[in-house]
Amino acid sequence: MYKLMGKVTTNSGIPVFGEIVKLIDKQEVSKVAEKLKANRYTKRLDAYQHLIIMLYAVLGQFNSLRDIELGFYSSAQCLNHFGLDYMVRRSTLSDANARRCPAFFESVYNLLYKRYSSVLADTRPVNGLKRPLFIMDSTTISLFSQVFRGTGRNAINGQKKGGAKAHTVIKADEEVMTFMNITDAVVSDQDILKGLYTKLPEGSCVTFDMGYVNYMAWQEFSDHNITYVTREKKKCKYDVLETREIPDEDKDIIISDEIVELSWRKRWKRPMTREELSHRRGRRPKSGVVLVNESKSGKHKCRRITKWKDNRDEGTITFLANDFETPASILCEVYRRRWQIETLFKRLKQNFPLKYFLGDNQNAIQIQIWVSMIAWLLMQVIKKQVKRKWSLSNMMTAVHILLNSYMGLYDFLNLPEGRWIKIIEARQKKDDENHQPSLFPEMRGPNCENQKSKTYLQQVTDGK
């Protein structure tokens, strides 16, 4: 094993951040920028360079524009490897964050996700579920000012902090976002379900918590062959149509399995058309817009499953689903997998600087969030390509430390102890040359410590 240590690269020729940038195809990004006209009114800082600078800021965990500027000054010799041809200034970056459309960064994320989707896939399906599983939830990012409208009551002093809400959908066998929608924190989760069926592939399954109660959207899922699994709210009203028999192997877990019917009524306001205004009598408001009330009602057929909680002393839990074929126990397990997105949000907030933003406007905040998602996706791709098992937080720390280093990213991640092993081997070789033969060679001072380190590193490398 130690004979292979000579293959450890001590200088890859490009810095670690340059190796990360290589995962992004500049030509494809330039085509996206041209399509969205992201380089309009730009003199020097084009969309691609803006992306690279923001990616460097996210991976370097810089909290201000001044930190970014100092970071690039310290790595001036690496700019060519980063794909940059000039030194960015704070004012230029601030203007770019305020003006360039976040849709460009969203499109770059979708481009990278499509390119690396085959690498990101994992083999962790829910046994018995024959449909691809998607998980949906939202997370709130607190802000220090009302850039995005916050939720909740005003504080005692009359001031309320703002907040951005990221409505996210992930695939159960992946650790990245399939797609995401950034809104004000005050926007209800129920409104996001409207039209979601257009973004999900036909024949898929999606699970979400009880905050997404929208019977009209649930019916859209059923009409387009998309199944869902969610929790039932306490005030849910329904009519029982059928009681299904519970299999013998599930009688200890499942209490009831019913087919029920939910009634819904949706009300909204819309502006009158010109034809309707021509037949209307009375004065028009100063704005010239007259609103009219409209409503729509219907019924939704679904499945109601009640089971014991893991600790029976805590009571029962009830699920609603429009899947009438999958066994009830499997649908319960599908909802249990929803917790995967909660742990994903936690790791994202732990590893990326989503508390300190590089601008006080909606544009800058959305750009930084999207670049953080791009960085997360690239880290997942690197993690899949490395043979050694890393936790993402440890790998992020290593990348942060080695960002400007010429260590060789993949060599270091595959064998972090490589350089230290070479030093130990050199020390031991020197000790063997300088010392006379002894009855107890393993007890010599430096040689003893080198042997201990070598044995320890051997165990770490072998995964013991």
For residue 264, how far is the Cα from the chain centroid?
33
CA distance 278 to 271: 13
Query: Domain tally for the chain?
Result: 2
Mean pLDDT, range 426-443, rounded to an integer: 63
**Last residue in a domain, options 409, 430, 449:** 409
Find, among 141, 215, 195, the residue nearest to 373 by Cα. 141
**Amino acid 10: pLDDT:** 46
Residue type, 369: I
**Amino acid 109: pLDDT:** 95
**Amino acid 147: pLDDT:** 60
**Amino acid 1: pLDDT:** 36
**Last residue in a domain, options 409, 428, 447:** 409
Q: Which two three-digit tokens encode residue 33?
A: 């920028």
Mean pLDDT, range 326-335, rounded to an integer: 92
**Amino acid 228: pLDDT:** 94
**Amino acid 190: pLDDT:** 82
Q: In this structure, how many other beta carbons lie within 10 angstroms of the beta carbon of residue 151?
A: 16
**Amino acid 4: pLDDT:** 36
220-241 pLDDT, tens digit each: 999 999 999 999 988 888 899 9
Whether 58 is in a domain gets the answer yes
Query: β-strand 133-142 against 205-207: which pairing, if any?
Result: parallel
Mean pLDDT, range 356-361, rounded to an integer: 82
Share of the chain above pLDDT 90, in %: 33
Whether 44 is in a domain gets the answer yes
Whether 276 is in a domain gets the answer no
- With a CB cutoff of 8 Å and minimum separation 6, the contacts of 25 are 115
Residue 77 and residue 50 in one domain = yes
Residue 365 and residue 431 in one domain = no
Residue 365 and residue 450 in one domain = no
CA distance 276 to 287: 16
Which DSSP letter does residue 43 get? S
Residue 401 and residue 380 in one domain = yes
Mean pLDDT, range 176-196, rounded to an integer: 85
Residue 435 and residue 373 in one domain = no
Q: Is the pLDDT of residue 338 over 80?
A: yes
**Amino acid 77: pLDDT:** 82
30-87 pLDDT, tens digit each: 999 999 999 888 878 899 999 999 999 999 888 888 988 888 888 888 888 888 888 8
Q: Is the pLDDT of residue 337 over 60?
A: yes
| Direct distance between the N- and C-terminal alpha carbons of the chain, in angstroms, rounded to an integer | 15
Residue span of the structural domain in which 404 resides: 10-105+358-409
Residue 67 and residue 47 in one domain = yes
Average pLDDT in the chain? 83
Residue 375 and residue 448 in one domain = no
Whether 76 is in a domain gets the answer yes
Whether 82 is in a domain gets the answer yes
Q: DSSP 3-state assignment of 191?
A: helix
Report the greatest alpha carbon distance in the chain: 113
Whether 366 is in a domain gets the answer yes
Q: How confident is the model at residue 262 (pLDDT cuts 50, 70, 90)?
A: very high
**Amino acid 289: pLDDT:** 83
Q: Is the pLDDT of residue 185 over 90?
A: no
Q: Is the pLDDT of residue 259 over 70?
A: yes
381-431 pLDDT, tens digit each: 999 988 888 888 899 899 988 888 888 888 889 888 877 878 877 877 777
How many helices and strands, by DSSP H and E, does the chain display? 17, 9
Whether 161 is in a domain gets the answer no
Share of the chain above pLDDT 70, in %: 85
Q: Is the pLDDT of residue 437 over 60?
A: no
Q: How confident is the model at residue 29 (pLDDT cuts 50, 70, 90)?
A: very high
Q: How confident is the model at residue 156 (pLDDT cuts 50, 70, 90)?
A: low
**Amino acid 188: pLDDT:** 81
Whether 93 is in a domain gets the answer yes
Q: Is the pLDDT of residue 187 over 70?
A: yes
Element (H, E) at 99: helix 90-99
Most confident of 123-137, 155-169, 225-239, 280-294: 225-239
**Amino acid 50: pLDDT:** 93
Q: How confident is the model at residue 436 (pLDDT cuts 50, 70, 90)?
A: low
In the sheet with 177-184, reading across from the earlier edge strand, the strands are 177-184, 163-171, 133-142, 205-207, 227-231, 316-321, 291-308, 254-271, 239-243
